[in-house]
Structure 1
Amino acid sequence: MDAHSRGRADEIDPADQWVLNPQTGNYELRLDHSAGQPQTPSRPRRSSTATAADSADTGHGAAAGHGTATEAPVPGQRRRRVSEGGGQQPPASRRKRKQGASRKKKVLLWTGGTMAFVLVGGATGAYMLYKKLDSNIDAVDVGNAAVETPGMDGPLNILVIGNDVRTGEGNESYGNKTNVTGHADTTFLIHIAEDRTNATAVSIPRDLKIEIPDCPTKQPDGSTKVIPGSVGRTKFNESFGVNGRDPGCTMRTITEMSGIGINHFMMVDFNAVKTLSAAVGGVKVCLTKPIRDTQYSKLNLDAGEHRIQGEDALAFLRNRHGLGNESDLDRIKMQQQFLASMMRQLKEDTLDSPTQLLDVANAATDALTVDKGIGSALKLTSLAKEIGKVDLKNISFMTVPVVDNPDEPPNKRATVVLDQTKAPQVFSMIQNDVSFTEVKKKEKDAKNAKTQAQAKLLQGPRAEAVDVRVDVYNGSGIQGAAQSTINWLQNDMGVSRSTNKSNAPEKAAKTTLTYAPNQADQARKLADMMGLPATALKPGTQDAGEREPMTLVLGADFKGAGAPVKGPTKAPDVDKVEADKKVCAE
């Protein structure tokens, strides 16, 4: 694993980048250069218009090695107050800040986000802590396996990978001692809605049979080596650690399986579970019946509620014996209960204890391996603030719909395969940013208003097919997608003025159609043909020339030429639980 780039102006004290907002009583990160401006200005969005690429349409998106997002400008510095005697006064106490509703909303989806609270501490202490936290983090360059985002705008898809590596103190007795890299254990695909009203955490079973694609990986010397994919279907846990596969291979596997572009990954191992659970003072869990597993996980708990940490916490997450069918799916339910409880614990207890909060931040950063896009304390802080906007009751935990593997005999079934009816519906809802929970009326009304405004883009006259001009770029990851779309448009739909522009500069999570105001009738016609949702339409502000084409970028939601891109608006019948609910493992 490569050490991450620090990317920080050393002459700037990071603690001085936080200032008190007198209107809210909270400390905020200042993004301007003025010493007198207390509020954080908004960040302009980057244009989503695709540009031409020189590479051939191979279906692999842009070439590996995208640059990371540009850092925000260095903020202006806070002036120190001077006493009447000419000396400097100590900074005002920050412990009595306003306890408003905004703080209650700062809930963390995983413990890495605690730095959002840590970095608003005392000036000198925060600087030393920042350096410590920053040096804790391991960052990996996964190339174009990660779909880049303009800052932290828009919907976010984060893959939280459980690594079952057995190295580290106290882990010698857990399975394969020779496994020094680990494999992908149960993994969470976490979707954060664009409006931050809801989030979805989908568990991917380690024993899911799936095809693993070819995977370009960065080598220590800077070169790229392509790791061959699996021959046929194999267990999902082999998407990491086998044959040199890195976390980017796990990201590519999920994208290949779901059509969902992944923005970032976080990876945690056995040691992370032990240290993080201890740092928060233990995590509350509940059992409907006692568990006595003396042979495998060594979990020994009575029925009822318990507060567990360290080895007990790890045993709780690893255990599947004495539960339901004693399967990986039963274990996943325990893991979901544990994570939801940890989130409540952070909100209710840990955030009120500065000492405990520091312990959590240190343990979290020390335990995390992330992609370079979030490979610093400040970048993780920025991500944490976005996650913290989501209310616990609107965070859904579920397992990707699966069925028993039909290729295995009934009495020896050890693996599962995707439910081909329900799983695509779940993936499509995530692709189209549809919530699995009912959000508050005010939030829902605001989202509906935005949806209605977007829907108006599809209202109005349509051009004739022969008058539609469009350049098609492939950002889907499907080989030959642009050419197959061109063939369909020209031969079946009569759009003769369509052109294959090869690969998009980078992979796209969603299909988009960018057009000028005077091309709106063409955009509506093409949207009708392709079944594009209103959210795929991206109108510009300046009229185009008479022969200027629109720009269509095929995204990860592209299912094939002629297949509608629109997704479902209602969740399929799947088991799910919200993060604010206290449930007991059965």
Structure 2
Amino acid sequence: MDAQGRGRAGDNNVDPADQWVFDPNTGNYELRLDHAGQAPARPSDRKTPGSRRAARNPGSEGGDTDTRPLPTQRGRRNEGAAAEDGERPSGGRAARRAAGNRTATATASGPVGRRKPKPKATGKKKALYWTAGVVSFVLVAGCGAAYYVYQQLDGNISKVDVGVENEAVSSGPVNVLIIGTDARDGKGNSGYGDAGSVGHADTTILMHISKDRTNATALSIPRDMITNIPNCPTKQKDGSKKIVPGENQVRFNTSLGQEGRDPGCTWRTVEQMTGLKINHFMMADFNAVKELSTAVDGVEVCAAKDLNDPKSHLKLKAGRHIVKGEQALAFVRTRHAIGFGSDLDRIKMQQQFLSSLIRKLKSSAFSSPGKLYDVSQAATKALTVDTGIGTAGKLLDFGNDLKKVDIDKITFATVPVLDNPKDPATVILNKTAADPLFAMVRADHTLAKGKKGKGKKSAPVKKAPPEQVRVDVTNGGGPIGSAQETVDWLQNSKAAKLSTNAGNAPAKLAATRLEYAPNQADQAATLADWMGLPKSALKKSAQNAGDRQPMKLTLGKDFKAPGSPIEAPTETPDGVQNVNADDKNVCAK
């Protein structure tokens, strides 16, 4: 990194990590660019009334700059001759050269006198940034010279104008679309992906962070899921716009790369599917996994059995392992050695890897400036983002906004799907489970287990089997045809053959209502679960019903579609695979 823009353009051999030294007055590591005595003083270095600046040799007794050696960067040797007392000159290469030259002098870098030391800076937690097939992080916080680092990090980041530019920091909930592409671009990637392909949305995660920043949910979207892709405006190299026509009933992964689609097309496809408004996207290729896992000195993973996948080239014995580089990439690409060998099994591998990566990045192990710099470089080099977070400064603001979420409140889940009867190589959205899941996320409800409910919970009511559910359905405010649509859904999807279309209700209702008798409580519990009805929608009469008397379901103005929850659930829907990021006992099997 050069020093242009800071009054220095001299020694090209100076490593930025070697120039960060500990300042006892602030409790922070700060950048020292004055190894030749020519750096302009920082505002905190200016003289105060009554004080004088002392010139001294670096490392001389009485200096107010702590020049203890920083943690050594990975792969670098300690340089410089040993001092007479057996210790090496500290403070990095620049300081060591100055210590060997007794004619060189340096200006004192901090205030002197009787002033009380400043309290240590607070809020030094690392900022989190999520990216691509792995959730990557940019970690540049607590550094007094962050701007100096930004100049290089800015040049690492690639941007795509998707026609939407949101602010980096939002006061509401945040949805980040994380895309991992299987394009073969990048050093060492020629053996992966499809030859000549422009890439697909191979791994896609929608990360939702709640408005109060107390919880986060990461939804993995299966690449082979059949879905509809909307029309997509794309910006061309000459600045013009081109509309890429949408397609119906195609694989989700074709939302990127194919027909000229950019990340904005995947963005719009996910918004259409989930009803969640996306704020930003981050995309990276295979190198993101390799470089980031190497920068953090490996990620711990677990295998419940021996794994040998000739497709991904992963070979692991049963037990815990530290993987990085090519081996880390092989781990997140593996599917043939686990479960049924499907993409859904591979998603579980990715969720285990990402959870472990998050735990490592949130740990105290990442406090040295050198390590933060390494990880920042790896993450930003792998990133392609939208213009709303297209600078290192915006990324830092973005990450500082999101870092408040505790690990045990981060949950990975897979969008629920069913086997596609028309094509066994693909899957289709399981709307019965997906709709309440999406509603739960939209309502900022956490999927993390262990959340304490308020009040005393009543004993659960036993549910009746589908063939015993007897109900008349009337339309009291829903779209035209809602009653018949609901009956068809109940009979065909739920095997509730005793459901009947009773026409229009005599009066309009603002909210959907289910009326039932005490001896129909088990039927009502089953129907309420199917329809996603809140407790407020259930109206129990005082008298028991006759043997063949049906319940009465009146669809109100709040009705959207059969099976679409009227009110967002607070518990994870049945059949939704999920894992907590703080669970250290997840093993591939």
Report TM bin, short chain.
0.5 to 0.7
> 1:128-527, aligned counterparts within 5 Å?
128-144=148-164, 148=166, 151-179=169-197, 181-230=198-247, 232-294=248-310, 296-348=311-363, 350-408=365-423, 413-438=424-449
Q: Which residue of 2 aligns with 1:121?
A: 143
**SS in structure 2 opposite 1:130?**
helix
Contact 1:289 1:302 in 2 (8 A): yes
Partners in 1 of 2:410 and 2:510 — Cα distance?
34
**SS in structure 2 opposite 1:352?**
coil
Partners in 2 of 1:12 and 1:163 — Cα distance?
41
Contact 1:137 1:375 in 2 (8 A): yes
Q: Which residue of 2 aligns with 1:512?
A: none
**SS in structure 2 opposite 1:118?**
coil
User: Shift of residue 358 of structure 1?
Assistant: 0.7
User: Shift of residue 530 of structure 1?
Assistant: 10
Q: Which residue of 2 aligns with 1:580?
A: 582
**SS in structure 1 opposite 2:375?**
helix
Deviations 1:37-77 (A, max 9, x none): xxxxxxxxxxxxxxxxxxxxxxxxxxxxxxxxxxxxxxxx9
Contact 1:283 1:345 in 2 (8 A): yes
Q: Which residue of 1 aligns with 2:58?
A: none
Residue identity opposite 2:153 in structure 1: L
Say which of 25, 42, 52 aligns to 1:85: 52
Contact 1:157 1:263 in 2 (8 A): yes
Pick closer, same or farther for the CA change 1:307–1:489 going to 2, 3 Å.
Answer: closer
Q: What TM-score results when the alignment is normalised by the length of structure 1?
A: 0.62
Pick closer, same or farther for the CA change 1:400–1:89 going to 2, 3 Å.
Answer: same
**SS in structure 2 opposite 1:211?**
strand
Pick closer, same or farther for the CA change 1:396–1:368 going to 2, 3 Å.
Answer: same
Q: Which has the higher helix share?
A: 1
Partners in 2 of 1:276 and 1:426 — Cα distance?
31
Residue identity opposite 2:338 in structure 1: L
Q: Which residue of 1 aligns with 2:569?
A: 568
Partners in 2 of 1:490 and 1:343 — Cα distance?
45
Partners in 2 of 1:384 and 1:309 — Cα distance?
24
User: Shift of residue 120 of structure 1?
Assistant: 3.3
Partners in 1 of 2:240 and 2:231 — Cα distance?
16
Residue identity opposite 2:580 in structure 1: E
Deviations 1:478-534 (A, max 9, x none): xxxxxxxxxx89999xxxxxxxxxxxxxxxxxxxxxxxxxxxxxxxxx995799x9x
Residue identity opposite 1:85 in structure 2: R
User: Shift of residue 407 of structure 1?
Assistant: 1.1
User: Shift of residue 218 of structure 1?
Assistant: 1.0
**SS in structure 1 opposite 2:313?**
coil
Contact 1:112 1:380 in 2 (8 A): no
Partners in 2 of 1:211 and 1:387 — Cα distance?
31
What is the RMSD of the two structures over their aligned residues, measured on CA atoms? Answer: 3.9
Q: What TM-score results when the alignment is normalised by the length of structure 2?
A: 0.62
Partners in 1 of 2:136 and 2:196 — Cα distance?
32
Who wins on radius of gyration, i.e. which is larger? 2
**SS in structure 2 opposite 1:186?**
strand
User: Shift of residue 127 of structure 1?
Assistant: 3.2
Q: Which residue of 2 aligns with 1:546?
A: none
User: Shift of residue 418 of structure 1?
Assistant: 0.7
**How many percent of aligned residue pairs carry the same amino acid?**
49
Q: Which stretches in structure 1 are left out of the alignment for 5+ residues?
A: 1-9, 28-76, 449-487, 493-525, 534-556
**SS in structure 2 opposite 1:173?**
coil
**SS in structure 2 opposite 1:253?**
helix
**SS in structure 1 opposite 2:422?**
coil
Contact 1:201 1:397 in 2 (8 A): yes
Partners in 2 of 1:394 and 1:528 — Cα distance?
35
Contact 1:160 1:190 in 2 (8 A): yes
Pick closer, same or farther for the CA change 1:11–1:132 going to 2, 3 Å.
Answer: closer
Q: Which stretches in structure 2 are left out of the alignment for 5+ residues?
A: 9-15, 17-21, 30-41, 55-106, 113-117, 456-476, 482-507, 514-532, 534-557
Residue identity opposite 1:245 in structure 2: R
Pick closer, same or farther for the CA change 1:326–1:349 going to 2, 3 Å.
Answer: farther
Contact 2:126 2:140 in 1 (8 A): no
Pick closer, same or farther for the CA change 1:559–1:361 going to 2, 3 Å.
Answer: farther
Partners in 1 of 2:224 and 2:111 — Cα distance?
54
Partners in 2 of 1:160 and 1:257 — Cα distance?
16
Partners in 2 of 1:217 and 1:352 — Cα distance?
41
Partners in 2 of 1:359 and 1:220 — Cα distance?
32
Contact 1:214 1:228 in 2 (8 A): yes
User: Shift of residue 322 of structure 1?
Assistant: 1.4
Pick closer, same or farther for the CA change 1:244–1:162 going to 2, 3 Å.
Answer: same
Contact 1:350 1:356 in 2 (8 A): no
Deviations 1:255-276 (A, max 9, x none): 1111111111000110111111
User: Shift of residue 220 of structure 1?
Assistant: 1.4
User: Shift of residue 333 of structure 1?
Assistant: 0.2
Deviations 1:93-135 (A, max 9, x none): 9xx98598x65686665688754x4253243xx3331100111
Residue identity opposite 2:285 in structure 1: D
Residue identity opposite 1:425 in structure 2: P
Pick closer, same or farther for the CA change 1:26–1:193 going to 2, 3 Å.
Answer: farther
Pick closer, same or farther for the CA change 1:316–1:92 going to 2, 3 Å.
Answer: farther
**SS in structure 2 opposite 1:225?**
strand
Partners in 1 of 2:349 and 2:204 — Cα distance?
13
Larger relative contact order (Cα-Cα within 8 Å, sequence gap ≥ 6) = 1
User: Shift of residue 293 of structure 1?
Assistant: 2.0
Deviations 1:197-254 (A, max 9, x none): 1000010011111111111111112211100111x31111100000100000000011
Contact 1:109 1:343 in 2 (8 A): no
Partners in 1 of 2:331 and 2:257 — Cα distance?
24
Contact 1:394 1:439 in 2 (8 A): no
**SS in structure 2 opposite 1:435?**
coil
Pick closer, same or farther for the CA change 1:380–1:112 going to 2, 3 Å.
Answer: farther
Partners in 1 of 2:245 and 2:239 — Cα distance?
19
Pick closer, same or farther for the CA change 1:289–1:564 going to 2, 3 Å.
Answer: closer
User: Shift of residue 570 of structure 1?
Assistant: 2.7
**SS in structure 2 opposite 1:421?**
helix
Q: Which residue of 2 aligns with 1:515?
A: none
